[in-house]
Structures are given as C-alpha cells and as structure tokens.
Chain A
Amino acid sequence: MTFRNLRSAVYPLVGIAIILVVWQLYTQILGINRIVLPSPVDILRASISNWEVLLRESWPTFLESVLGFALAVAIGIPFAVCVANSRVLNLTLYPILIATQSIPKVAVAPIILVWFGLGMQSKLVIAFLVAFFPIVVDTAAGMRATPVGLLELARSLRASPLQVFLKVQFPAALPFIFAGAKVAVTLAVIGAVIGEFIGSVGGLGNLLLTANSQLDSPLAWAALVWLSGLGILLFVAVVITERVVMPWSEAGHH
C-alpha cells in the first residue's frame, strides 16, 4: 500500500524533473530572452521574491473557485436528483441545460461582469456556471444507474420512495457524483480566472495579466504555477473527501 503510494508519487515527480531540466538547459544553452520564455530558475526566483503578493492574490481566486464550486454542488445535486426522477422535469429542463452549456462561458463573462460588478461575485458566478454542468450530468447519470437488483430488493420490502432514494439511489450514485465533482472543481478555478481576465481588481488571474503587460514574464509564469498549484490543491481536497465519504471504494482494492 505504502509502496504503491510511493511509486505513484515518484513517477510524476521524475517526469516533472525531466521536463524542468530540459527546459532549464534549453533556455540557458540557446540564451532565450526571459521575456519570451523564463527558465524554471527564473520562475522560482520570481515566485520566492514575490511570495507575499502571490499569496495575497491567491486568496480571492481560491475563494471564488471554492464558493463557485460549493454553489454548483449545492444547486447541481438537488437539480440532478429532480431531473433524474421526474420525466416532466427531465424533458423540460435537460434540453435547456444542454443548450446553455453550449454557450462559451468566456462569451457570457462580460455580461455577468455587467450584472455582478468587478468584485468577487461575478467570478463566483462564472466559476459556478462552469462547475454546474459536470455535477448535474454525472449526478443524473448516477441516479439512473442504480443497480436493478437493489431496487428490486427495496421494492420487495415495500420501501417508501424516500427510503429508496436515501438508502439506495443516492449512495449508489456517490461514485458518479465524485467523478463529476473532480472535473467541476478544476473547471471552477478556470472559471474564476476567466472572470478575473475579463475585469477584476485582484486575484492570480489579475496578477498574471498585470505582470504580462509589464513584460515581467517570470512573475506571470509564477502566477501560472500558483494557479496550477491551487487547482491541484482543490482536486486533492475532493479526492480526500471522496475517501472519507466512501471508505468502501478503497476496501476492495488490496
């Protein structure tokens, strides 16, 4: 178990190390201008010397992503449950959902900024919009994928619809819900950054744009690295939650 964990950590780290070394050598040997492509060492230096700024600007982006994601979960799961269990709602709402999903969120972002302003709310709404879809689709799929045998068992005991939902349907859908949540949480970060790009007064996306406009590429790249770190952090948080909520999914693999 620990050996496997160790191995699963070592492989990607070695992969990243190789890329970094090649990158470093490439920029050094060919003398690439750091405005065009800063070396990993440049980025690390910028990251360290600007850590206070980076940390400060991470906070709003973090909040926007997490709150947008939380809102998508809070609204998306009940929405999917209703859609999956009601034919009328399914027929009414699902096509609308698909239609709205096909609108690029970047295109909607300026309108949302008009509605919600330059502050955090507009980013939160965009993060919510991009995270909503995978949560709904996967939860609805999970609600429909309840094993027939379990439904039959519940029916043989004359379980009430509420009992069937709480004790059979919902727990059976959890793996699907978490699959959706993992996609949604990384999308939420992207949503927040899109919002910051369109118009903002803070956040890592804002910092990235500012640094770029001042030709401070190492700082822009540093902001990028921090953004990626933020995405990984949130992803890992969802994975840990999944393991806590569904301990049985780990139990079988030994």
Chain B
Amino acid sequence: MRLDFCRIRPSSLDRKLKINTDAQIATQGRAASVPFGHFKDVHQSFNRPGQAPLVAIEKITFDLKAGHLVTLLGPSGCGKTTFLKIVGGLIPASGGTIQINGCDVAEPHPDFGVVFQQANLMPWRSILDNVLFPMEILRRLDAAAKLRAKELLTLVGLEGFEHAYPSQLSGGMQQRAALCRALIHKPRLLLMDEPFGALDELTRMEMQDLLLDIRDKTGATVLFVTHSISEAVYISDIVAVFSKRPAVIADYIEVNLAYPRSAEIRYSAKFTSLEHRASRALGITR
C-alpha cells in the first residue's frame, strides 16, 4: 500500500543482492513465507578510546512475521535495547542485515512507532497535542488525525483527559498517552523499549492486556524489549531470549498459547513451563 516504504538506500554490494532477491520474492507472490522483518548476523560493537572495542551484540539472526508480537528478553545491559534501536534506524549496526519489508533499515522510518521506558511526553503540550505530535512532524495534522487521536485516547481509557497536561497524570496514564502517540500515524511496526518497566505491577498487567487489545485492533507488528520473564511469556507470539553481552539468541521460544489471553493463563502449567524454559535460557535456573 505504501510504496515509500521501499526507498532502497545504497549500501554494500552483498546487501544490494540480498535486497533484490527478497524484493523479487515479495513482488512475485506476496508469499506468506516472506518475513516482515529479517535480521541476519546483526553485530554491534562500540569503539572505546584506548581499549578494545566493546562488543554489545555478537550475532543476532531471526525473522519477524507480520502481525507477530516478538519480545526480546534478556538481562539488563545485554544489548536488547541497542538491537531495538538498530531496527528502528536510530543507531547504525556495525554489521549484518536489517530489513523491514525487504528494505534495508539505515535510518528511522515514519512507518515505525516508538515507545520508550519513560513516557517522554512534552510537559508544555496537552495530552491531545502530545498524541498529535508525530502528525505535526509528518505534516499530516488534519481533522481526521484529531479524530483518530481522540479515538485512541478513548481506547486506552483516557477520554476526558485530552486537555490535561502530562504533569496532571499518573505514570501509567502517561504511558498510555505515549502508546497513543506511537500509534497515531498508523505505524506497521511498533518498537517498544521496556515501556512498562517503570510502572507498578498492577498497572503493568493492565497495560499488557491493553497492548494485546491494541495489537488485535491495529494489526501492528510489535518488537518489545523487556527483562520480565512473565511479561514476555504473557504477551508474546515469540520470545527471543538474549544472552548476556555480547548478545546472541540463547533461545527462540514459540509461545503456543491462544489469544485472547487472560490473567488466568498465568497460573496454567503450560505458562509456567514456558517461563521455566525462558529462565533456563537466561541461565537463572537449570
């Protein structure tokens, strides 16, 4: 639908070849086998003056299916946030292939929506204007955008707070508004960096249900960073467990629990065994 997604940027030769083959497959038959996101041998190291380079990500390879919710689960400082930023085009990878919809990601794309650990709302804007911020930047601020913003705020239970300032809202409410802001421009890929990490347990569980509800309604593909095992298992189609730095995929867990999920599921044997598998991959239990 949106052709501008595929603005191929010049890159190394082997990358170009990769793009061509993938693009051909994509145009040929829109086969379901073509992944929405394709990450191969993603490597990241940072140069440090006077020291050996810090290898944050050794090698990450996996595919992201359209409409899937994939969590990156790992210990803090393992490079999962770095990986998310690489996918979002916010930092360039040192090596490897990062493709969304068959195109190399080298810079941020308006078809991405980002939610950070902090709500990052602008204190000088009302909630409604905060939600509309991306539309302003993308120069698509119109009546339809305002209507959609109000609909989103209603969806997350913030109707009546459109004209409040962020400082008047609780942390959970601010994060709901941030979620609306990430969704306002109808992104196809939602990148979430520990978005519920700063919230209390009860609010957190509420937000997880809200996220699943929103994912259901928007059909967005979600890449979600967390260090909570139960959060990862509860919300995900796939849990990609990251090892300690330098990160590799320690386990790739398909969560075969049917949606819609409810809190009851957290106490099922299946859920517990998935949690156990994840904790084994993290090296917490044996």
Cβ-based interface call for A110 (8 A): no
Contact A149 B137 (CB under 8 A): no
Contact A156 B88 (CB under 8 A): yes
Interface of B toward A, CB cutoff 8 Å: 88-90, 107-110, 112, 114, 116, 118, 120, 122-125, 133-134, 136-138, 164-165, 167-168
Knowing A147-B120, A171-B124, A248-B123, say if A154 contacts B167 (CB, 8 Å): no
Contact B167 A252 (CB under 8 A): yes
Contact B110 A155 (CB under 8 A): no
Contact B110 A251 (CB under 8 A): no
A-B pairs with beta carbons under 8 Å apart, 18 shown: A150-B120, A150-B122, A152-B114, A153-B114, A153-B116, A155-B90, A156-B112, A156-B114, A157-B138, A158-B108, A158-B110, A159-B137, A171-B124, A246-B124, A249-B123, A251-B167, A252-B165, A252-B168
Cβ-defined partner of A154 (8 Å) among B110, B124, B137 = B137
Contact A251 B165 (CB under 8 A): yes
Contact A167 B120 (CB under 8 A): no
Contact A152 B116 (CB under 8 A): yes
- Looking at B110, B116, B138, the one whose CB has the most chain A CB atoms below 10 A away is B116
A residues near B133, Cβ cutoff 8 Å: 153, 157, 167
CA separation between A150 and B133, bound complex, in Å? 11
Cβ-based interface call for A49 (8 A): no
Contact A155 B108 (CB under 8 A): yes
Contact A168 B165 (CB under 8 A): no
Leading 7 A-B pairs by shortest Cβ distance: A252-B167, A149-B120, A251-B165, A157-B137, A248-B165, A156-B114, A156-B108
Tell me the nearest residue of chain B to A251, going by C-beta. Answer: B165
For the complex formed, measure the closest distance between the CB of A242 and the CB atoms of chain B, giving whole angstroms.
12
For the complex formed, measure the closest distance between the CB of A2 and the CB atoms of chain B, giving whole angstroms.
20
Q: Chain A binding site: helix, strand, loop or mixed by DSSP?
A: helix
CA separation between A168 and B109, bound complex, in Å? 19
Would you list which residues of chain A between 115 and 161 have a CB under 8 Å from chain B?
Answer: 147, 149-150, 152-159
Contact A156 B90 (CB under 8 A): yes
- Looking at A153, A172, A251, the one whose CB has the most chain B CB atoms below 10 A away is A153
Tell me the nearest residue of chain B to A150, going by C-beta. Answer: B120
For the complex formed, measure the closest distance between the CB of A152 and the CB atoms of chain B, giving whole angstroms.
7
Would you list which residues of chain A between 240 and 254 have a CB under 8 Å from chain B?
Answer: 246, 248-249, 251-252, 254
Contact A174 B138 (CB under 8 A): no
CA separation between A168 and B122, bound complex, in Å? 8
For the complex formed, measure the closest distance between the CB of B110 and the CB atoms of chain A, giving whole angstroms.
6
CA separation between A174 and B125, bound complex, in Å? 13
- Looking at B114, B133, B137, the one whose CB has the most chain A CB atoms below 10 A away is B137
- Looking at B90, B107, B124, B165, the one whose CB has the most chain A CB atoms below 10 A away is B124
CA separation between A159 and B167, bound complex, in Å? 25
For the complex formed, measure the closest distance between the CB of B182 and the CB atoms of chain A, giving whole angstroms.
9
B residues near A156, Cβ cutoff 8 Å: 88-90, 108, 112, 114
Cβ-defined partner of A157 (8 Å) among B110, B120, B165 = B110
Knowing A174-B124, A251-B168, say if A157 contacts B134 (CB, 8 Å): yes
B residues near A157, Cβ cutoff 8 Å: 108, 110, 133-134, 137-138
For the complex formed, measure the closest distance between the CB of B162 and the CB atoms of chain A, giving whole angstroms.
14
Contact with B along A167-196 (1 / 0, CB 8 A): 110011010000000000000000000000
For the complex formed, measure the closest distance between the CB of B64 and the CB atoms of chain A, giving whole angstroms.
18
CA separation between A64 and B78, bound complex, in Å? 60
B residues near A171, Cβ cutoff 8 Å: 122, 124
A residues near B116, Cβ cutoff 8 Å: 149, 152-153
Would you list which residues of chain A between 7 and 44 have a CB under 8 Å from chain B?
Answer: none
Cβ-based interface call for A101 (8 A): no
CA separation between A246 and B114, bound complex, in Å? 27
Tell me the nearest residue of chain B to A254, going by C-beta. Answer: B168
